[in-house]
Each structure stands twice: as C-alpha cells, then as structure tokens.
Amino acid sequence: MHHHPFNKPLAVTAFCILTMPRWVAAEEPVPPPDSRVKIAAVQISGYDKGDLPRDGFKPADNFVPYIDRAGRDGAQLVVFPEYVLGHIQVPGPESDKIAAAAKANSIYVIIGCWELLPDDGFANTALIFDRNGKISGKYRKTHAAIDHFDENDLPWKNPPRDKSNEWMIENDPEWIMQIGQELPVFDFDFGKVGIMTCYDGWFPEPARILSLKGAELLVWINGRGGSVEDFIVKSILFQSHVAMVATNQAYGSGTMIADCSKRPAFIITRAPDRTESYITATIDFKRIREIRFRSRNFQQRRPDLYGPLTEPKPH
C-alpha cells in the first residue's frame, strides 16, 4: 500500500402504544413524531482535496456551532460537505467533537473526511453520526475524481508517470485512495438514506441504484469549485422519486435541499453562491413514499434491456 506522511497518532428504539403514554428510556433519543422531517445543510469550507494537516487548524470547532444551531431549529439531520474534516483517524479527536455535538442535540450528522486506514491507506469517507453520537455508518466514494493522467495513454486511463506518492497525495489523491466498493442504503429512524460523494453524482447509475435499493433521501456531498448542478438534482428527483440534500464547500456553490413531491422536480431552498451559509427545509417522507409506491416508471422498468450498463466499456 502507499505510504503517506500524515498518519498520526439505528436503530433508535422507541415504544409506542396508541392508547397509552409513550415511555422512552431517558438516554434514548426520541425520533420525529410524524413524517415531516426538517433537514439542515451547511455550505462551509474546511480541509480541501489536497490539503495536508496544518498546525492549529481544527475545523471541527467551526462545524459544531452549526450542529447546535440545527438542533435548536428542530432539524433531524445536518449535512456538511466533502473533505472538510481533513486527514483524520476515525474515531479520533476531530470525530469525537462531532459525535459529542450530535449526541447533545439528538441529531444525525453526515460529514466528509479523508479517513486514515490502518494499512497507511486512506479513503474519501462520509461519516454518519447517529442521535447518540455513535458512528453508525460510513460511505466511501466509489468514483475517483482524478485531475491528471498519463499523457502517453488514453485520457483518464492511468495516473501520470514518475510522480511520487507525496506528489499524488497533495495533487491527485483520488488516484491512490481506497475506493468504495458498494452503494449502501442506511436506515435512519425517519427514513432510508443513500449517499453520493461529488463525482459519484456525475454518473446516473449510483442515484438510480440507491433509489431502487429503497433510498428515500439522497445526500450528495461535494467539495469543488463551481456549482453543484441543479439539472442533475432535478433529473434524479424526477426519475428516481427521492428527496435530495446537496452540499458544497463555501468556495463553491450549489448547496440545496429538494424533493420530488411537486412537478416539476422542486428545489425547496438553495444557499447563496460562494459564501458560508446554512439552510433548512422540511421533507414529507409520507408523501415521498406515496410517490414511490404509485410510480409508473418503477413498475414499467425493463431490466432485460439494461445489460450494457454492467459492461466495462461503451461500444
């Protein structure tokens, strides 16, 4: 495996009987009482793609106030961008700060980092913190967003030649990261959630597969210049019958919350461009489930025709 220089040392249970009071142990968070779920999204910068750890820079300290704010606002989930926690051990001091804030506010948190692995590798990981502050899930980016390639070969096929591991870490780390091997759907106490990271969203297959596996909410975290593409978000809403939360770092734009409950696909709220921002919106999961249940295109799919999607190369 590659060596790098920075490797330093839901189920939420609730018992409800319709004709009797609800009794919940004091330490057990109470899930939302109905299908309407408030979600928060934060457009903020932290560590970026090629950033190495910097002395004195602890971005989690900047994120905790937004978790607290989301908790005060009654949000059930708050989502941050890709990369922002930087190169960290998980669990470790930075993730512990997020965990404590999630527990204090009884809120789910999704946030991006470079997760350092025991074999000196690393992965572009979205961490999921549950209402108890536990890391209840991880999603590792499945499509590497590479920036350089071997000019003597087909474009984007192989990494540039004669570059050191240190150069790759700072300039093109996704060539050498441990890439994700699955598209999981996570059970939150309010619904089923799938995650995509940045470049994953430029491929139609991940969003569709996550929806077909039952995801009702897709979370798309980004860390890039320019804007998250609203036409991609709207296409996913229209074709796959989900709600979506997209986040980006503050030097970019396109942090938004959207759902499929209105035609055409509807962006409920969007953060201002290129500025640190915080937004919230309420998603009606009952309505999302009704749309999915009554979907015409879900019932009329033709999987027998879709074989070429699994072939490694287009014709």
Among residues 107, 90, 79, the alpha carbon closest in space to that of 222 is found at 79
Contact (Cβ atoms closer than 8 angstroms) between residue 128 and residue 186 = yes
pLDDT tens digits, 95-138: 999 999 999 999 999 999 999 999 889 999 999 999 999 999 99
Q: Quick one: pLDDT at residue 1?
A: 45
Residue 302 sits at φ, ψ, to 5 deg, of -125, 70
Among residues 285, 273, 267, 142, the alpha carbon closest in space to that of 201 is found at 142
The residues pairing with 186 across neighbouring beta strands, listed in sequence order, are 193
Q: Quick one: pLDDT at residue 33?
A: 59
Q: Quick one: pLDDT at residue 25?
A: 38
Contact (Cβ atoms closer than 8 angstroms) between residue 39 and residue 71 = no
Residue 100 sits at φ, ψ, to 5 deg, of -65, -40
Q: Which of 4-8, 12-16, 273-277 has the lowest mean pLDDT?
A: 12-16
**From CA 153, how far away is CA 295, in angstroms rounded?**
45
Averaged pLDDT for residues 59-83: 99
**From CA 85, how far away is CA 6, in angstroms rounded?**
14
Decide the pairing of beta strands 108-116 and 77-79. parallel
Contact (Cβ atoms closer than 8 angstroms) between residue 38 and residue 17 = no
Q: How far is CA 305 from CA 55, 204, 212, 309, 310, in A?
A: 54, 16, 16, 9, 11
Structure tokens at 172: 């093109």
Contact (Cβ atoms closer than 8 angstroms) between residue 161 and residue 145 = no
Q: Quick one: pLDDT at residue 265?
A: 84
Structure tokens at 24: 């919940």
First to last CA, the chain: 34
Averaged pLDDT for residues 200-226: 98
Among residues 78, 67, 75, the alpha carbon closest in space to that of 100 is found at 67
- pTM (2 d.p.): 0.88
**From CA 286, how far away is CA 205, in angstroms rounded?**
25
**From CA 77, how far away is CA 100, in angstroms rounded?**
15
Among residues 23, 42, 50, the alpha carbon closest in space to that of 248 is found at 42
The number of residues making up the chain comes to 315
DSSP 71-89: HHTT-SEEE--SSTT-EE-
User: Could you tell me the domains of the chain?
Assistant: 36-302 (3.60.110.10)
pLDDT tens digits, 84-97: 999 999 999 999 99
Contact (Cβ atoms closer than 8 angstroms) between residue 248 and residue 83 = no
pLDDT at position 14 over 60: no
The residues pairing with 188 across neighbouring beta strands, listed in sequence order, are 191
Q: What is the chain's mean pLDDT, rounded?
A: 90
Query: What percent of the chain lies above the pLDDT cut of 70?
Result: 89
* Conformation bin of residue 214: beta by default, left when phi > 0, alpha when psi is -120 to 50: left
The residues pairing with 110 across neighbouring beta strands, listed in sequence order, are 79, 128
The structure tokens 């910097």 sit at 54
